[in-house]
């Protein structure tokens, strides 16, 4: 019965939002999940936001220091640990990808992390102590892996949770930035539990963070490795020409933050922290309309 009802809901959703029915969302069909779908896609009912976004709790106080425009000490590859309270929007998708909390019921991660995981983990600096939350459904961007320009174009995936993640100092949604935030030279922070060295380590127990500068599209496309020549407007590059600081394996789908707002997701790279091989990130503000159409959130 629940499977039938959910299929009806999803068919309506696909019709209303022009979502490719061949890419219908996957997930669990529990009664709570069906109720969530009903509220979002049939009633289009979203309760008033009762929580503050991450940037709102920093405004007027810690925001200038959070931007890290002059601090280069944070990095994932060979770097220093941070507390989850420094990045409470950070979650894990499964045990080997990252993600960002957009709302208590919603997480965004990378499409290339696939749609086969059952849980999102949140609420702790320590990877082993994060709390699991059941995923109702996976919404992969309908244009993912269909572009003739690049295999990682439209690298977006939204996750609807069965139960909301309680908002607190260790779990807080993050707002989405603007399309102009990917200006070359802006310092962005990337966090995750991923590897510290390419193919020489493993997922980390503690959360790490790196600060790297955004690179211009033209400069990135000129990198000697051919995997950069076809980046699209849904992507941006960030890193140092001499390497040393970067995201790495296991950080995929994790948040890229500027001015305490989400502007990117870890998409792909060539090795980790190697010279002339910056990281490539999905541009989240470019996907804002799709995110709105799926979640109903007033982003």
- Enclosing domain of residue 259: 179-285
pLDDT, the chain, mean: 81
When divided into structural domains, the chain yields a total of 1
The verdict on residue 85 lying in a domain is: no
Classify residue 192: in a domain, yes or no: yes
Say if 194 falls within a structural domain.
yes
Sign of the CA dihedral with 59 first, then 62, 66, and 69 last: positive
> Tell me, what's the pLDDT at 287?
97
> What is the pairing mode between strands 187-192 and 208-215?
antiparallel
Tell me what pLDDT residue 1 has. 45
* Least confident window among 66-75, 76-85, 269-278: 66-75
Q: Is position 199 within any domain?
A: yes
Where in the chain does DSSP place strands (E)? 26-27, 90-93, 97-103, 106-109, 119-122, 131-140, 157-161, 187-192, 208-215, 235-238, 255-258, 261-268, 279-283
Measured CA distances, 61 to 32, 66, 90, 232 (Å): 39, 10, 21, 36
297/39 Cα distance (integer angstroms): 12
Q: What number is the average pLDDT over the span 172-193?
A: 94
pLDDT of 15 over the 50 cut: no
Using one digit for the tens of pLDDT, what is the confidence trace for 97-145? 999 999 999 999 999 999 989 999 999 999 999 999 999 999 999 999 8
Residues belonging to the active site: 112, 155, 252
Check pLDDT > 70 for residue 13: no
Q: What is the mean pLDDT of residues 76-94?
A: 84
Alpha carbons 107 and 186: distance in angstroms, whole number: 25
Q: What is the pLDDT of residue 116?
A: 87
Range in 9-18, 40-49, 255-264 the model is least confident about: 9-18
Kindly state the average pLDDT of the residues 158-171.
96
203 found inside a domain: yes
pTM of the model: 0.84
Q: What is the CATH number of the domain that holds 268?
A: 2.40.10.10
132 within some domain: no
Check whether 29 has a pLDDT greater than 50: yes
Least confident range of 71-85, 96-110, 175-189, 252-266: 71-85
Is 112 inside any structural domain?
Answer: no
Whole-angstrom distance, CA of residue 127 vs CA of residue 205: 5
In a domain, 110, yes or no: no
């Amino acid at each position: 019965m629940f499977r039938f009802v959910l299929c009806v809901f999803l068919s309506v959703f696909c019709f209303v939002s022009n979502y490719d029915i061949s890419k219908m969302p996957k997930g669990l069909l529990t009664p709570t999940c069906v109720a969530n779908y009903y509220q979002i896609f049939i009633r289009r009912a979203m309760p008033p936001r009762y929580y503050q976004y991450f940037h709102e709790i920093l405004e007027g106080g810690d925001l200038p220091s959070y931007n890290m425009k002059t601090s280069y000490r944070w990095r994932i590859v060979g770097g220093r640990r941070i507390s989850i309270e420094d990045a409470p929007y950070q979650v894990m998708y499964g045990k080997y990808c990252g993600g960002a909390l957009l709302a208590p019921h919603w997480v965004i991660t990378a499409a290339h992390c696939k749609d086969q995981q059952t849980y999102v983990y949140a609420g702790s600096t320590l990877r082993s102590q994060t709390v699991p939350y059941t995923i109702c459904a996976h919404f992969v961007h309908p244009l993912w892996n269909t572009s003739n320009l690049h295999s990682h174009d439209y690298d977006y995936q939204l996750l609807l949770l069965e139960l909301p993640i309680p908002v607190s100092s260790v779990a807080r949604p993050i707002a989405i930035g603007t399309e102009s935030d990917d200006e070359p030279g802006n310092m962005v922070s990337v966090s995750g539990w991923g590897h510290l060295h390419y193919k020489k380590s493993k997922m980390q127990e503690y959360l790490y963070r790196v600060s790297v500068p955004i690179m211009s599209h033209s400069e990135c496309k000129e990198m000697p490795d051919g995997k950069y020549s076809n980046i699209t407007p849904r992507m941006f590059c960030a890193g140092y020409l001499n390497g040393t600081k970067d995201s790495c394996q296991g950080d995929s789908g994790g948040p890229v933050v500027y001015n305490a707002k989400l502007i990117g997701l870890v998409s792909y790279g060539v090795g980790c922290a190697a010279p002339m091989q910056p990281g490539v990130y999905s541009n989240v503000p470019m996907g804002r309309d799709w995110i709105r159409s799926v979640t109903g959130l007033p982003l």
